[in-house]
Structure 1
Amino acid sequence: MKVGLIRCMQTEDMCPATTCFKAMKNKKCAFDGVEEDIEVIGVTTCGGCPGKKAVTRAEMMVKRGADTIVLASCITKGNPIGIPCPNVEQMKTAIKNRIGNDIRIIDYTH
C-alpha cells in the first residue's frame, strides 16, 4: 500500500502526525488487516478551510505513486481537539471524483 496522507491544516501545529504514522507502522485502527507493506508517498494538509486544495494535493500524490489516499483523523474525527471538519464529505466526494475509483480512500487513521 502506498499512502498519501492528508491532514487538517488547522490542527497541524497541535499534532505532528505521530499517531497516524504509528497506526500505519503497527497496522492498527484504519490499517488493521492490511497485509502488504505500507509506504508513505507524501504528507500534506488540506490547504485550510474549506479543503479545496486537498483535491489537487491528492491527485498530485497519486501521480507520484500513491494507491491510497488517507484523510487523517484530525479531519474526519476532529482529533486532537474533537471538532471534525464540517467539509469532510464534500472533500471526500471531490477527491473521489478527481482521482477515480481505482484509488482507495481511507477516511481516518486512528
Structure 2
Amino acid sequence: MEGSLMPKVGIIRCQQTEDLCPGNTDFKVANEGKLGFAEVGPVEVIGFVSCGGCPGKRVVARAKLMIERGAEIITFASYMSKGNPIGFPCPHFESIKAAVEKKVGPEVPLITWTH
C-alpha cells in the first residue's frame, strides 16, 4: 500500500439518495474508523459510486472496478441496509449484497453500513 497503512475502501451508495446526501458522514466515519468501520479502523476511501439505479443495475460491475483500482474492502452506504437518511432501506439490498459477494469472493470483505 503506497504511502498509506490504511485499508483502501470503495463505498457503494443508493442512486436515489445522491441528491439528498452528499456523503460527508460516510467520509467522516471512514476517516475516523468509527461506526461501520470500527472493526477495521480508519480507512482510505478510494471510490464513492452509486449502485446504478434499481435494482442495483451496475453494482457488481462497479464493485469489481473499484477492486481493480485498489479497493481492498467494499462498503455499502447506510441507506442500503439501514435506510439512512430517507427512513427505509433498499428493498433490493439482500440480492445486491449476494451478487457482490458472489462476484468478489471471500477475499474481499464487505461492510454493510457506514453510519
* TM bucket normalised to smaller: over 0.9
C-alpha change, 1:20 and 1:93, in structure 2 (3 Å) is same
Alignment of 1:1-110 (within 5 A): 1-35=7-41, 37-110=42-115
> Where does structure 2 lack aligned partners over 5 or more consecutive residues?
1-6
The number of residues matched between the two structures is 109
> Where does structure 1 lack aligned partners over 5 or more consecutive residues?
none
Shift of 1:27: 1.2
Alpha-carbon RMSD across the aligned residues, in angstroms, is: 1.0
**SS of structure 2 residue aligned to 1:10:** helix
* Matches of 2:39 and 2:98, distance apart in 1: 25
TM-score, length of structure 1 as denominator length: 0.94
Shift of 1:34: 2.5
TM-score, length of structure 2 as denominator length: 0.90
